[in-house]
Amino acid sequence: MKHFSLAEIQTWERFYRANFINSLTGFKSVSLISTKNANGQTNLGVFSSIVHIGSNPALVGYINRPLEAAPHTLANIEATKFYTINHIQPSFVGIAHQTSAKYDAAISEFDAVGLTPEYLHNFEAPFVQESQVKYGLELQEIMPIKLNNTFLVIGKIICAYLNENIIQADGFLQLEKANSMASNGIDAYYETNLHSRYEYAKPEKISQKI
Ligand SMILES: Cc1cc2nc3c(=O)[nH]c(=O)nc-3n(C[C@H](O)[C@H](O)[C@H](O)COP(=O)(O)O)c2cc1C
């Protein structure tokens, strides 16, 4: 196996280096974060740094890049406190990717790419109608990361929408049945297959497939 040292990595051309580093951490969930500003103007962007923080309370975080690079989602979340996270399916992955373009604040990515805002059960932020798995969040905390001027944005899950046929008897969601996609780096999208599920692991017994 080839060894890559930091010293070598730092000599690489910046886009090559970014692709290498961005994909090294592996497959990630990828979703559209949907918001609106105080005037009701909607905004949509692709985000793949989404991470489970805890299940009770149900907390989800994502990393927002520095404000000069990705200003609109974070500003809207700060202003209105509510946002939605919408899984991406193959039928609209191309236009979902297009929402990562730097559109002017006055332009809604919903209109620019042709996705449909959907307001459900009076939740303040719009959902993406085309998405088959989506959830609404209320902002809890924005933690600036001084190291590189990014932000860890943490929200509490308030509601979720998905087809019941993907829920297993124990509550586990078979996301591959909903065709939810995964991503790697900042431009690669994957369809998924379940390989295996295992019993809760305990030291005294090797856990078995369920
Ligand atoms: C696959 C993919 C994943 C991305 N993940 C993130 C992310 O986790 N955090 C982030 O700040 N930007 C991410 N971006 C870039 C944003 O989509 C882009 O900066 C977008 O314009 C942000 O828009 P905003 O200014 O409306 O917030 C990603 C882009 C792509 C294509």
Q: Is 28 in the pocket of ligand 1 (CB under 6 A)?
A: no
Q: Is 65 in the pocket of ligand 1 (CB under 6 A)?
A: yes
Residue with tokens 């905004």: 43
Q: What is the sign, positive or negative, of the torsion defined by CA atoms of 43, 49, 55, 57? A: negative
Q: What is the pLDDT of residue 204?
A: 96
Q: What is the pLDDT of residue 46?
A: 98
The closest-lying atom of ligand 1 relative to the alpha carbon of residue 103 is: 21
The closest-lying atom of ligand 1 relative to the alpha carbon of residue 71 is: 25
User: What is the Å distance from ligand 1's center to 163 Cα?
Assistant: 27
The closest-lying atom of ligand 1 relative to the alpha carbon of residue 109 is: 26
Q: Give the model confidence (pLDDT) of 123-150 as tens digits.
A: 999 999 999 999 999 999 999 999 999 9
Closest CA to 154 of 86, 81, 210: 81
Q: Is 151 in the pocket of ligand 1 (CB under 6 A)?
A: no
Q: What is the pLDDT of residue 101?
A: 97
Q: Look up residue 95 and give its amino acid.
A: I
Q: Is 102 in the pocket of ligand 1 (CB under 6 A)?
A: yes
Give the 3-state DSSP-derived string for the chain, with helices as H, strands as E and coil as C. CCCCCHHHHCCCCHHHHHHHHHHHCCCEECEEEEEECCCCCEEEEEECCCEEEEECCEEEEEEECCCCCCCHHHHHHHHHCEEEEEECCHHHHHHHHHCCCCCCCCCCHHHHHCCCEECCCCCCCCEECCCCEEEEEEEEEEEEECCCCEEEEEEEEEEEEECHHHECCCCCECHHHHCCCEEECCCEEECCCCCCCECCCECCECCCEC
Q: Whose CA is nearest to atom 6 of ligand 1?
A: 47
Q: Is 30 in the pocket of ligand 1 (CB under 6 A)?
A: yes
Residue with tokens 């090797």: 206
Q: Is 75 in the pocket of ligand 1 (CB under 6 A)?
A: no
Closest CA to 170 of 210, 117, 130: 210
Contacts of 116 (CB under 8 A, 6+ apart): 110, 128, 129, 130
Q: What is the pLDDT of residue 191?
A: 98
Under-50 pLDDT residues of the chain: none
Q: What is the sign, positive or negative, of the torsion defined by CA atoms of 166, 52, 110, 26? A: negative
Residue 119 corresponds to which tokens in the numbers above? 């307001």
User: What is the Å distance from ligand 1's center to 150 Cα?
Assistant: 12
Q: What is the pLDDT of residue 158?
A: 97
